[in-house]
A and B are shown apart, each in its own frame.
Chain A
Amino acid sequence: MQLIVNIKDENLARKIIKLLNIFKDEGIEVIKKKETQKGWSDEYVQQHWREIGMNTHSADINDDEYLYEAAWEYYSEKHSD
């Protein structure tokens, strides 16, 4: 079961997700609603790589399950035929 949090304020959304994670053991996965993002051109990414890259939230990766999933995605892409 997924509980989708739709709050634009990033900090507030993170805090609420953290609180709601107490229901994780009941099988509830709390996720933030992803806004529909337009694709960026390679040129745009090349020009704004630092700004884009600095805006991640690795401190929130304390969820092993997420890391394992991400690892699966990352390495299967890397080593796929």
Chain B
Amino acid sequence: MKLLGSITVKNILIDLNILLDYYENTRRKRYPDSIEAFDYLKYQNFAFVSSSSIDNFEFIKYATLTKEYSNLNRKQKLLIVHNFIKEFLTFFKLAKTPSYIEIDYDDIEDSQIIASAKAIDALVLTRDEKMLSKYPDMTITPKELLQRAQNQDIKIDFANLKKQHFSYYPDIEKSTDTVYAHGRFIMGPEIQELEENLCSFTKAKNAITCSSGTNALLLAMMALNIKPGDEVITTPFTFIATAETIALLGAKPVFVDIDETTYNIDPNKIEEKITPKTKAIISVSLYGQPSDLDEINKYTNNQYINKPIYHIVDGAQSFGATYKGQAEVHHCDIYTTSFFPAKPLGCYGDGGAVLTNNDELAQKMRMLRIHGQNKRYSHKYIGLGARLDTIQAAILNVKLKHYKEDFARRNEVAKIYTKLLQNKENIILPTIKPDRTTPWAQYSIRVKNRDELQTKLKEAGIPTAVHYPKPLHLQECFKYLGYKEGDFPIAEKISREIMSLPMNPDLSENEIMYIAKRI
């Protein structure tokens, strides 16, 4: 895990003069700050060189070799130059010149570099005084960069989606360019590729992508024919979508209080809520941790009401989690997930998926997501327009390739938080049961003085969030269900105390220490 703190919220684009400083003995002596800055930036996800600098580097290095050595032939000079280029391209990513460049004919090279920097939201690292004075808001000297690094000027982002994007930058750019090129923006080949990748990752028999985590829940319940008059048991301590979709289908959400350690539905309290109308149980893997799935599955056999009760896992926050060594899809009828940007596996907009080992349900959900269509303009069911965009699938295919690594990093971040916070008084840390794993969608602690602590952290530049401040049974939209305060005391208590700390795979140890010290 990288331990360096973020020195800037922007990326850094390294100008040609810094590259030349690094690869020449006389310039190295003359410009030591360039060398130190270059070394500092090596292998950092936020360090780039402009594609326009490559050709200029090749030419200048070639010309200086020609001047210095009469005994080198062209092939030998190019070998030397290309070895240098290959080397710095292992250290830094390439930023292309965007098509919307504003060419400055006084200095075409500088305008190319500035255009590249704008496209990736970068500062140009340069010694070029002309560029520094012409673009003061877009440039930084090696000395300034090193000063910022030394000052540990930490800037913490809650989910840090921008940094994640640039971590995958060349692959994301390639995959999205492919979609622009083939133009199949709806149900393009990337959709099938993603569904195969999701099956391969989870070992599920079927994966059907869709346009959001909310629509994933709708598809699952529509496939199970949940309709007015049915009851669906779920937790009141979750995002609105879980219960909202039950109500949208005309069924009745029936809440069951939560377990005080996992914050997930308490399986011991389910039985008393089962009636002949119960059609399904939706367990939610809150913050990423699976519920007690085996205990919940005890209620899904016929002995209770002589008809099946289905089990849907709302895994909007839990993609990649395991329960007793397997993905959650193997412990329920349908697993739903969300690819909302801030989720552990997020796309660049709304997205979701349903996974199931039941081929019949899978086939029905495939139709339901395209208006219930079984063939073009033939509609077997009343369905939804709920397809995932091809462009989102292209992005997810890239991110899924790196997901195991991200999952491990998130766990490492959580481990450091726990280590640093475990001896602090008046804080309850998250508990993960030993037979399950989590992607740590959130690292949520419980404190009595939440408002005060949030204010203090905000003043220190540390963003926090509350997931969720009001349990669903107390929401105005569910007033018709007749619940009142005190009906689910544990959910109510947790909602008053819970607070999520910044969590993302790029959070450094320095940043976590900075946060922990202020709690």
Which chain A positions have C-beta within 8 A of B20?
58
Partner of A57, one of B67, B71, B73, B79: B67
A64 contacts the other chain (CB 8 A): no
Chain A: residues with Cβ within 8 Å of the partner, total of 27
Is the beta-carbon distance between A59 and B26 smaller than 8 angstroms? yes
A-B residue pair count with CB separations less than 8 angstroms: 82
Which chain A positions have C-beta within 8 A of B227?
none
Identify the interface centre among B60, B63, B65, B75: most chain A CB within 10 Å of its CB. B63
Chain B: residues with Cβ within 8 Å of the partner, total of 30
Closest B residue by C-beta to A39:
B71
A49-B83, A77-B74 known; A59+B30 contact, CB < 8 A: yes
A12 contacts the other chain (CB 8 A): no
In the assembled complex, the CB of B90 is this many whole angstroms from the nearest CB of chain A, namely 14
Which chain A positions have C-beta within 8 A of B72?
40, 45, 52
Instruction: Give chain A interface residues in 51-81, CB to chain B under 8 Å.
Output: 52-59, 61, 66-67, 70-71, 73-74, 77
In the assembled complex, the CB of A79 is this many whole angstroms from the nearest CB of chain B, namely 13
Which chain B positions have C-beta within 8 A of A46?
79
Which chain A positions have C-beta within 8 A of B73?
39
A38 contacts the other chain (CB 8 A): yes
Partner of A38, one of B71, B74, B79: B71
State the main secondary structure of chain A at its contact with B: helix
A15 contacts the other chain (CB 8 A): no
A37 contacts the other chain (CB 8 A): yes
Closest B residue by C-beta to A38:
B71
B466 contacts the other chain (CB 8 A): no
Identify the interface centre among A38, A54, A58: most chain B CB within 10 Å of its CB. A58
Closest B residue by C-beta to A50:
B83
**In the bound complex, how far is the Cα of B76 from the Cα of A61, in angstroms?**
21
In the assembled complex, the CB of A57 is this many whole angstroms from the nearest CB of chain B, namely 6
Instruction: Give chain B interface residues in 78-97, CB to chain A under 8 Å.
Output: 79-81, 83-84
